[in-house]
Every structure is written in structure tokens, then in C-alpha cells.
Amino acid sequence: MRNWNSYNYKNKRKKAYSLVEILVSLGIMSIVITMLFNVLIVGLQSTVKVIARSSIREEMSNISGQITRDIRNSDKVTACGELTVSNSCEFFYNNVRYSWSLCSDSATQVCKYDLTDTSQPLEIYRSTPNMSVSTFEFAQGFGSGETEESKNVLFTIVGSHNNDFVDVNNVFRQLSISTRNYFY
């Protein structure tokens, strides 16, 4: 037969954590976990901001590269950076008239149009809706050769990301595009 008194006595001598010790350790762990989550959140926010800025820079580089290629390869550059219409550039390539300007239905996106039919321009390219363009300008540059047709076209674009959460504003790009076929 068992002696229940000795059994209970042995169980009472076992070591265990008290409720106070468990509560203190849970409090310390919650503080550490909260600090780690704050570091994680700040890291994620900065990563999202870097990705958004990279996206805007890539889009601006894409637009400026296409404009540079179009102006340099054109047969004739006409109204590019005129005082009356500084936010568009018209040029001819293979006897087809094209234009780079702000989109007709959105003042914050950039479009390239085929102006073969001036009453119904055909949209060839449109910038992504993630980027909001605040400045899109062309200006007549200085003459770089012996003739007036050898001019530079100065191109400026300033854009921001459309998501206000990422706070990417006023990304700036400016180019000087040399051409040998500039006509007024």
C-alpha cells in the first residue's frame, strides 16, 4: 500500500515557475517583439520607397530614351520647344508626323502620337499610371554647328509616384539632345 502523504510531499518539492515570474517574462518578451516589429515595419517602408523611386526613375529613363532616339533619328524636327507649346515636340520620321506631349485625356501622363490624321491622332505610347508628370517641357537649345539646323533640344521631365503612401516626389531628369535636322 502506498503512503499518500509521502507522495504529496515529494510533489511539493518539485521546482516550478511562479505566476509572477511568467508574467514578468511575458512582459519582457512582448517589449522585445514590439521593438522587432517596429524595426521590420520601418525596413519594409523604406524598401517600398526605394522600389517606388526606382520605378519612377526607370519610367523616366524609358521616356527620355525614346524621345532621344526619336529626335536623333528623325528626318525633320519642327515644333519642339516653341514658346507657345513648350510641352510638346513634333518631328517627322519616314514622312510620318509624330508628337511627344502630355496625353490629351490626362495632364499627368506622357504620350507619343502618330499625327498622320490630325483630326484623329493615334496614340502609340503612354507612360504608366504609377507616375504623375508635373513638368514635361522642351526648349530650343543652342546651335552646335555651322547651320541653324544643328541645334540642341533641351528636355526636362519631373515626375512623382501616384501612391502618396510611398512619398516619392519631384524626381528630376533633364537632357540635351543634339540634332542635325531642326527646322522652325
At 74-103, the pLDDT tens digits run: 888 887 876 666 788 888 988 899 999 999
Taking the model in full, what pTM does it have? 0.75
Residues 87, 135: Cα–Cα separation, whole Å: 8
| pLDDT, mean over the chain | 84
pLDDT at 38: 96
Q: How far is CA 45 from CA 8, 32, 41, 131, 167, in A?
A: 57, 20, 6, 19, 10
pLDDT at 76: 85
Q: Could you tell me the residue ranges of all domains in the chain?
A: 29-178
* Grid cell of 20 as nine digits: 509572477
Angle at 137 between CA 131 and CA 143, to 5 degrees: 140
Eight-state DSSP code of residue 30: H
Mean pLDDT of 158-173: 86
Q: How far is CA 36 from CA 29, 41, 42, 45, in A?
A: 10, 9, 10, 14
Q: Is the pLDDT of residue 184 over 70?
A: no
Within a 10 A sphere around the Cβ of 166, how many other Cβ atoms?
19
Mean pLDDT of 169-174: 88
Question: Which of 63, 71, 72 is closest to 89 using CA atoms?
Answer: 71
How far does Cα 12 stand from its chain's mean position?
67
Q: Which amino acid is at 8?
A: N
Residues 111, 122: Cα–Cα separation, whole Å: 10
Within a 10 A sphere around the Cβ of 150, how many other Cβ atoms?
15
